[in-house]
Structure 1
Amino acid sequence: MNKRDALVALKEKGYKHTDKREDILQLFENSNGYISAKDIQTALKSTYPGLSFDTIYRNLSLFVDMNILEATELDGEKMYQFYCSHHHHHHFICLKCGKTHSIDVCPMESIHGLDPNFVVTDHKFEIYGYCKDCQK
């Protein structure tokens, strides 16, 4: 996903184009990993001094519902990045900077069918640690 595709998806679903939405999406386009609502508020406070967390979370929730963003939780805080839709994969996630790297193998392959009475509808696999830059 990218900003342009996200704006098209919003328009197709009848959502209004706003400068705030576009600027929030631009932050994700410029990011190389997960960012938080607090990061968004900090980055946009000079442009939108009255930008509330309610507005930010309402937009983030909409973006997640529309598969524009995906969410995870790091240290008890929800973090977001553009939804990866190009193929099935998982992530290494840096706990300090939020950068991600793809893991192209899926652990579900090794546990498929362990419980024949359980139907898996979805899964999520993430590995947390520190990227090369943040280890310094």
Structure 2
Amino acid sequence: MTLDEAWEVLIQNQFKRTRNREIILEFLIAKDRYVTAMEVRNHMAADNPGVSFDTIYRNLSTFSELGILEETELNGERQFRMQCDHGVHHHHFICTDCGKTKNIPHCPMETLAVNLPGYEVEGHKFEVYGKCPVCVHP
């Protein structure tokens, strides 16, 4: 998702364009990986040392609820990244060292659904964790 697309979603949902939201979105676009709320806070603290962790976390949660961000849990902590391939069903390999992701276009639910006769699947999440080639061979 681009910055313009993110703002379009926010404005459609009655959210104002604020400097904090702008900084958060620009940071996430630049990182192109999963990041923690603390990483966002540390980035923002350079220009705005009084920025509230609650404000950052609330914005990240809102962005996630609106589909602007993807969210996962790594090492017991919520992490966020810009929505990628918006509208195209996919899954991710996530590097546990650097947080970079690689799209997995094949959905394992096609294979697993055979084992669920009579069940109605309402949603699923499939993520593969490990180390990317850069982190395996630094």
Superposed pair shares fold, TM > 0.5: yes
Q: CA offset at residue 100 of structure 1?
A: 0.3
What amino acid does structure 2 have at the position aligned with 1:80? F
- How far residue 86 of structure 1 moved from its aligned partner, in angstroms, is 4.1
- Identity, % of aligned pairs? 43
Q: Supply the distance in 2 between the matched residues of 1:70 and 1:10 (Cα, whole angstroms).
A: 15
Matched, 1:2 2:23: no
CA RMSD of aligned residues (A): 1.1
Whole-Å Cα distance in 2 between the matches of residues 100 and 52 of structure 1? 28
How far apart in 2 are the matches of 1:2 and 1:124? 23
2:81 counterpart letter in structure 1:
Q
Residue 60 of structure 2 aligns with which residue?
60
Per-residue CA shift, 1:33-74, capped at 9, x if unaligned? 101101101111011111121101110111011000011011
Instruction: State the match for 1:70 in structure 2.
Output: 70
Aligned-partner Cα distance in 1 for 2:116–2:98? 37
The question of whether the paired residues in 1 share the 8 Å contact of 2:91 and 2:103 is answered with: yes
- TM normalised by structure 2 equals 0.94
> Do the aligned partners of 2:71 and 2:80 also contact (CA within 8 Å) in 1?
yes
Task: Give the distance between the partners of 1:39 and 1:31, measured in 2 at CA.
Answer: 11
Specify which structure has the higher proportion of helix: 2
Q: Which whole-Å CA distance do the structure 2 matches of 1:118 and 1:111 have between them?
A: 11
SS state at 2:115 partner = coil
Aligned partners of 1:127 and 1:116: how far apart in 2? Answer: 25
For 1:94, the equivalent position in structure 2 comes to: 95
Unaligned runs of 5+ in 1: none
Partner of 2:123: 122
- TM-score, normalised on structure 1? 0.95
Q: Distance in 2 between matches of 1:43 and 1:129?
A: 26
In the alignment, which residue of structure 1 is the partner of 2:41? 41
**CA deviation profile, 1:91-114 (whole Å, cap 9, x unmatched):** 010111100000011100101142
2-structure distance, mates of 1:86, 1:13? 19
